[in-house]
Chains A and B, each alone.
Chain A
């Protein structure tokens, strides 16, 4: 816990320039502190922090009703990155998701929990050519829109869509080949080199994983992409194959995005007792700039599971939100989500999520 305290003090050291009228030449909010910069040699210290409050009302068909209040540090990390030449760069990110959380529930006594600090991302990027870059280390899976931008400060929503949950692991230790061809075609191909089953925070512990995404980019961040992947988990005795598509279109005052993924999974090695399932999930999101720094967001999504020897269900949700973005690196978000699940473990829930997030 003392380690967490020192870590948070360091993060708040970053926050202190927020109160100054003028930032020094070395610091810009959202761009980190430039430790050294001369020609191609650059070293930057940065970080991010997100605080979140959630209150939810949960109702199952079996008449279990519960209300919970949850407050926590959703994600916090210090980043250190740099480049030695235009051909070699590196990044280290130390921190974690859910560093601290407190939950007050109608049915249970109050609980607090915390995740250990860890080296969440570390990699070197070697640029052989604009079209051929080699990334080695631990990195975010470059698939979809939400997964590569996992921190709250970079997103329009506090709530990860269902399509970004449990379809594939968020981070792997491995190698990635990526680049841009003909100015508008981007590709990423990756494979796992280290078994992640021992990594405590891995969303899905896996022993083998490979995949890729092909993107057509236009404008600044607009894109249309296709992806594919497959993984094996010895812990869960699962073998899964997935594929999908996503798009993001930036307009003058608004942004539209959508993701779709399909997964085919099977569990167990004995053919007579084998369990298999098919998951399909999608969402569409629309964000509109209503006035100066204020935005409204709207999202609908669904996740359907069709299982054999495994529960089948259909989960649908709708989210409406308000975002105040003081600048691109600092935002306040308030959202309401209604979720309904039919089939196995049916329930409905209503949630309110409020957050403050900043990129240093």
Chain B
């Protein structure tokens, strides 16, 4: 019984973090339906901005969840797709190495789109200029 309580206590402390997909408010018309097209670089712009999709590095767990749950693509198919595109001269989404770099890129480059923990976005001084496209949980 003690072991069970210990397990329950342990698991109650592991909380799924909420992530949000964000882009500058000045870029309108972006929604969950065209998110996949943007990350596959099939849609390069919308009416008023050039889109720059951002991703974390290949071994990043959050990136794996984002690709699988938000884009509905398995990681192996994602890699194969970008191998083929690479051979055609189309570069995969720009890689950023940290949450800070992701936020800086999105706030400074018009049309940049990426995903971050909701708490970071809410605590950012730039959050008024950002719009949430969708949200997902870290596990």
Contact = CB atoms under 8 A, between A and B. Distances in A.
A83 interface: yes
A39 B52 contact: yes
A203 B1 CA distance: 75
Q: Which of A86, A90, A127, A151 has the most CB of B within 10 A?
A: A86
Contacts of A220: 40, 73, 77-78, 81
Contact of A130 (B42, B76, B79): B42
A39 B89 contact: no
Interface string A70-98: 00000000010101011001110000000
Contact of B76 (A25, A48, A151, A328): A328
B122 interface: no
Interface in A149-195: 149, 151, 153-154, 180, 183
Contacts, number: 74
Contact of A154 (B42, B84, B90, B109): B84
Interface string B89-105: 11110110100000000
Contact of A221 (B58, B84, B95): B84
Interface residues of B, number: 32
A130 B50 CA distance: 12
B59 to A, nearest CB: 10
Interface string B79-121: 1111110111111101101000000000001000000000000
Nearest to B33: A183
Contact of A151 (B73, B87, B95): B87
A151 to B, nearest CB: 7
B28 interface: no
B89 A359 contact: no
B69 interface: no
Contact of A46 (B42, B44, B50, B86): B86
Q: Determine the main DSSP class of A at the interface with B.
A: strand
A25 B83 contact: no
Nearest to B96: A25
A221 B81 contact: yes
Contacts of B37: 183
A359 B81 CA distance: 13
Nearest to B87: A154
A149 B91 contact: no
Given A39-B52, A86-B44, A30 B79 contact: yes
A351 interface: no
B50 A40 contact: yes
Nearest to B44: A86
Q: Which of A25, A79, A89, A328 has the most CB of B within 10 A?
A: A328
B84 A89 contact: no
B48 interface: no
Interface in A291-330: 327-329
Interface string A18-57: 0000000100101110000101101010101000000000
B58 A28 contact: yes
A28 B87 CA distance: 14
Nearest to A130: B43
A149 B80 contact: no
A35 to B, nearest CB: 11
Nearest to A90: B89
A39 B52 CA distance: 8
B77 to A, nearest CB: 5
A32 B91 CA distance: 9
B89 A81 contact: yes
Contact of B92 (A31, A89, A327): A31
B114 to A, nearest CB: 15
Contacts of B42: 130, 180, 183
Given A37-B94, A153-B83, 13 more contacts: A30-B79, A30-B86, A31-B92, A48-B87, A81-B89, A86-B51, A89-B89, A149-B84, A220-B77, A221-B80, A250-B77, A329-B83, A359-B87
